[in-house]
A and B are shown apart, each in its own frame.
Chain A
Amino acid sequence: EPEVTQTPSHQVTQMGQEVILRCVPISNHLYFYWYRQILGQKVEFLVSFYNNEISEKSEIFDDQFSVERPDGSNFTLKIRSTKLEDSAMYFCASSEALPGGEGETQYFGPGTRLLVL
């Protein structure tokens, strides 16, 4: 069964450093998402991406964040200058279609646990 994969599974970084989290969505999916979950808190939407541009983003997704699809398979989330409060589990997801459409189910990856020291 196809699945979303994410690397690395864990990342430890120093405050102020840049990190890139990587995701490989399911191959025939066209819509890509990033979410985060701070320990003990809710899953929060960050951004959605389609056709090489951001479709929608939340208030959390500020100028420190960026997303990219550098090739036909990877989807990345970059945090330019990490803060302590960026420590969280980051989930990538993908879907065939937009929410509300046929094939809209989002499939989540296992997550990358980011710890900022």
Chain B
Amino acid sequence: QKEVEQDPGPLSVPEGAIVSLNCTYSNSAFQYFMWYRQYSRKGPELLMYTYSSGNKEDGRFTAQVDKSSKYISLFIRDSQPSDSATYLCAVREEPGGSYIPTFGRGTSLIVHP
């Protein structure tokens, strides 16, 4: 069964902290990895996506994929109160396979001033 596990939190950090958010998945068919941010009463917003293993950086955000351990991470540097939201990881098979995404439950992040 395709499964993605994510600690729901909440994770509470002080402003300026480095945040580490993580997911594990069980199916090696997943090749495409995404992170979404969801503010309260809003739809998910795609933050980053990566294909296969490695790191990808975008401003204060870094996505990391370790396919050997089926572990994906999102790091947020210099966290801000505006980063307070629920962060969802999502995975799906590679292009050509099913593009149905499988989401994690989301981790609630609170960045306090």
Contact = CB atoms under 8 A, between A and B. Distances in A.
- Secondary structure of the A side of the interface? loop
A107 B36 CA distance: 11
A77 interface: no
B43 A45 contact: no
A108 B44 contact: yes
A97 B8 CA distance: 31
A44 B108 CA distance: 18
Contacts of B88: 43
A4 B99 contact: no
Contacts of A108: 43-45
A106 B46 contact: yes
Given A99-B32, A106-B46, A45 B101 contact: yes
A70 interface: no
Contact of B43 (A91, A98, A101, A105): A91
B43 A111 contact: yes
Contact of B95 (A42, A99, A105, A109): A99
Contacts of A44: 103
B43 A110 contact: yes
A18 interface: no
Interface string A4-32: 10000000000000000000000000000
A110 B42 contact: yes
B82 interface: no
A41 B6 CA distance: 11
A42 B103 contact: yes
A95 B64 CA distance: 25
A2 interface: no
Given A42-B104, A43-B88, A56 B98 contact: yes
